[in-house]
């Protein structure tokens, strides 16, 4: 009877694949997928139903042998056309095996089989039906999980196996001479029990080495995302098992399809919470995102061409020489009533830093401005470098993720001008948002609140711009202190002055939250 061995083979497959499916060369991983005991228990529960359906489809080979009865001599018997009537797996469990892998246990399993029998002794031929009940099947197997450093694939071996069967009962029917079979029924049951017990572990061990291990070698460890990049999620270390969970340590790295090379930085260590309340935990390092930025920036894919027809019609900001002439008069004078185009690209890879308080993002962008001539050709105007620091505070509310985006720093530098130097008056104003807890703290427009607009007057006649006055009685007195250095640049003064002149109240209503506080500099 081969029912027990098939059970072990299919169950072993389900166990290892269930654990592996919860996850997918550096010392630290870029991604860690953790499945806890709760997750393994859930996989067990869901897998039992599928496993029982699959087991009922197994074809059981015929079973035959010889018998000897006193005074009658030797004869032959055969059991064939066997069909499974039911398969029960009441107690099945997968547990992490510390420092090794997984521990698979199946207890109190039972099988009910129906088939036909025949026996022959010289010229005497007998036959009929039979019902076979195999009860108390138990399997205990240890699975070692490792990895191949060369390919990053997972490896699996069966380190130990033990099995047992409590009882095998056979009921003969369908022949008036069936009592002859009953004479050696106990012997048949004993032979079946010993044979199945011996074969179960043979099949489990063989299946792991000949089926599971080759299958793991065929699993992909990289994925192509687009024409530029792919993701490597091969293992960087053997799966790590503790008493409560199983961790899959994945590389988690973007790579270039055109020319693969290691990034110039290493992944940090990942720390997981100590609780095990959830079924699955997924840890993604900043390394994963930074390799993405590195690959796409090196490929020149982080760029954007911006034209006026791409800006909403209701916006006051227009990409025209007339509009930019407010900031830079030379633009409107040299290229009157023309459309403009901005080509923006990342001159350095963007950088993400993860902190307990949130995420920090750093961008270094270059922007080349063009005037679009009547013949549709482009005439360069100026080249800007923008250093942008953003912070993101992420939280959870009900079943949703929520976040707040802040602009911590914005530095503008004029790298090149094709229209000559920019001029600007000697005194201008700098705007920022500050936190003020005083309800009667007025802004320059007479309003009050906990997050207000404050305006300081700036003297930019010296080597560095200096604060001249404070915005209100409750705001910090910064008279004489250094102001942000970029305010000394002609472009910085132009931007601030234009914002004050053109947008005032509406600007802060729509864009105020993105303007940094002065104390960030």
Percent of residues, the chain, with pLDDT higher than 90: 28
pLDDT at 448: 35
Higher pLDDT, 396 or 366: 366
Q: Which CATH architecture has domain 302-436+450-474+481-517?
A: Super Roll (3.15)
The mean pLDDT of 334-348, rounded to a whole number, is 95
Q: Residue ranges per domain, the chain?
A: 31-218, 302-436+450-474+481-517
CATH topology of domain 31-218: Bactericidal permeability-increasing protein; domain 1 (3.15.10)
The mean pLDDT of 380-389, rounded to a whole number, is 91
- How far is residue 324 CA from its own chain's centroid? 44
- CA 32 – CA 281 distance, rounded (Å): 8
Digit-coded pLDDT (tens) for 411-463: 888 888 899 886 543 333 333 333 333 333 333 333 333 333 333 444 444 44
Q: Which two tokens stand for residue 110?
A: 């039972």
Choose the most confident range, by mean pLDDT, from 96-100, 267-271, 372-376: 372-376
Least confident among 132-146, 370-384, 408-422: 408-422
- CA 51 – CA 17 distance, rounded (Å): 13
Beta bridge partners of 384: 367, 414
The answer to whether 52 and 85 are in contact (CB under 8 A) is no
- Buried residues in 153-164 as b, exposed as e (16+ CB within 10 A): bbbbebeebebe
pLDDT at 445: 36
The mean pLDDT of 40-59, rounded to a whole number, is 72
Q: pLDDT-derived band of residue 178, with 50, 70 and 90 as boundaries? A: low
Q: pLDDT-derived band of residue 290, with 50, 70 and 90 as boundaries? A: very high
The mean pLDDT of 288-313, rounded to a whole number, is 94
The mean pLDDT of 385-406, rounded to a whole number, is 82
The answer to whether 460 and 434 are in contact (CB under 8 A) is no
Q: Which letter does DSSP use for residue 178 in this model?
A: T
Residue 119 confidence (pLDDT) above 90: no
pLDDT at 305: 95
pLDDT at 189: 80
The mean pLDDT of 92-119, rounded to a whole number, is 88
Least confident among 34-43, 315-324, 405-414, 429-438: 429-438
Quick check: helix, strand or coil at residue 406?
Answer: strand
pLDDT at 441: 34
Beta bridge partners of 76: 66, 120
pLDDT at 336: 93
pTM comes to 0.68
pLDDT at 136: 92
pLDDT at 104: 85
Beta bridge partners of 29: none
- CA 374 – CA 86 distance, rounded (Å): 83
Q: Which of 317, 313, 366, 321 is nearest to 341 (CA)?
A: 321
Per DSSP, helices labelled H in 219-375 are 286-298, 321-324, 329-334
| 159 φ/ψ sector (left φ>0, alpha ψ -120 to 50, else beta) | alpha
pLDDT at 498: 54
Q: pLDDT-derived band of residue 487, with 50, 70 and 90 as boundaries? A: low
Return the residue matching tokens 């004869």.
75
Q: Which of 309, 303, 384 is nearest to 339 (CA)?
A: 309
Please enumerate in sequence order all residues whose Cβ is within 8 A of that of 141, keeping only pairs 6 or more positions apart, or say none: 8, 12, 103, 104, 105, 158, 160, 161, 162, 201, 204
Q: How far apart are the first and last CA of the chain?
A: 79
Q: What does residue 252 show for φ and ψ, rounded to 5 degrees?
A: 60, 60
Helices and strands counted in the chain (H then E): 10, 23
- CA 519 – CA 493 distance, rounded (Å): 19
Residue 370 confidence (pLDDT) above 90: yes
Digit-coded pLDDT (tens) for 234-288: 999 999 998 889 999 999 999 999 999 999 999 988 887 777 788 888 899 999 9
Average pLDDT, the chain: 75
Least confident among 166-175, 434-443, 474-483: 434-443
């Amino acid at each position: 009877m081969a029912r027990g061995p098939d059970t072990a083979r299919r169950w072993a497959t389900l166990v290892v694949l269930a654990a592996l499916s919860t996850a997918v060369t550096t010392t630290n991983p870029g991604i860690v997928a953790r499945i806890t005991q709760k997750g393994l228990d859930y996989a067990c529960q869901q897998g039992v139903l599928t496993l029982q359906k699959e087991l009922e489809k197994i074809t059981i080979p015929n079973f035959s042998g010889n018998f000897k009865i006193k005074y009658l001599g030797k004869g032959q018997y055969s059991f064939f056309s066997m069909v499974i009537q039911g398969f029960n797996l009441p107690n099945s469990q997968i547990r992490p095996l510390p420092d090794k892998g997984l521990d698979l246990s199946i207890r109190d399993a039972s099988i009910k089989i129906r088939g036909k029998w025949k026996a022959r002794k010289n010229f005497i031929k007998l036959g009929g039906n039979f019902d076979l009940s195999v009860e108390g099947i138990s399997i205990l197997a240890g699975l070692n999980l490792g990895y191949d450093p060369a390919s990053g694939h997972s490896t699996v071996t069966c380190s130990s196996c033990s099995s047992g069967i409590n009882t095998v009962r056979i009921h003969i029917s369908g022949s008036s001479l069936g009592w002859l079979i009953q004479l050696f029924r106990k012997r048949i049951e004993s032979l079946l029990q010993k044979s199945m017990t011996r074969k179960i572990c043979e099949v489990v061990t063989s299946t792991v080495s000949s089926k599971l291990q080759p299958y793991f070698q065929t699993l992909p460890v990289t994925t192509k995302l687009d024409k530029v990049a792919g993701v490597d999620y091969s293992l960087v270390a053997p799966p790590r098992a503790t008493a409560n969970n199983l961790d899959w340590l994945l590389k988690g790295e973007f790579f270039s399809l055109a020319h693969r090379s290691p990034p110039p930085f290493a992944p940090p260590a990942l720390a997981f919470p100590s609780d095990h309340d959830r079924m699955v935990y997924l840890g993604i390092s900043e390394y994963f995102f930074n390799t993405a930025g590195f690959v796409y920036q090196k490929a020149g894919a982080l760029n954007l061409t911006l034209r006026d027809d791409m800006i909403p019609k209701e916006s006051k900001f227009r990409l025209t020489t007339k509009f930019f002439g407010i900031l830079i008069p030379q633009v409107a004078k040299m290229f009157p009533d023309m459309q403009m185009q901005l080509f923006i690209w990342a001159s350095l890879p963007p950088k993400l830093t993860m902190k307990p308080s949130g995420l920090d993002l750093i961008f270094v962008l270059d922007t080349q401005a063009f005037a679009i001539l009547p013949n549709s050709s482009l005439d360069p105007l100026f080249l800007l470098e923008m250093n942008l620091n953003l912070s993101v505070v992420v939280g959870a509310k009900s079943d949703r993720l929520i976040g707040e985006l802040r602009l911590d720093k914005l530095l503008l530098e004029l790298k090149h001008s094709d229209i000559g130097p920019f001029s600007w008056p000697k005194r201008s104003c700098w705007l920022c948002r500050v936190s003020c807890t005083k309800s009667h703290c007025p802004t320059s427009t007479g309003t009050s609140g906990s997050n207000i607009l404050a305006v300081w007057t700036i003297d930019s006649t010296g080597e560095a711009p200096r604060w001249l006055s404070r915005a209100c009685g409750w705001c910090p007195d910064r008279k004489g202190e250094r102001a942000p250095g970029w305010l000394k640049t002609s472009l910085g003064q132009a931007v601030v002055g234009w914002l004050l002149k053109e947008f005032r109240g509406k600007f802060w209503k729509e864009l105020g939250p993105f303007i940094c506080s002065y104390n960030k500099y």
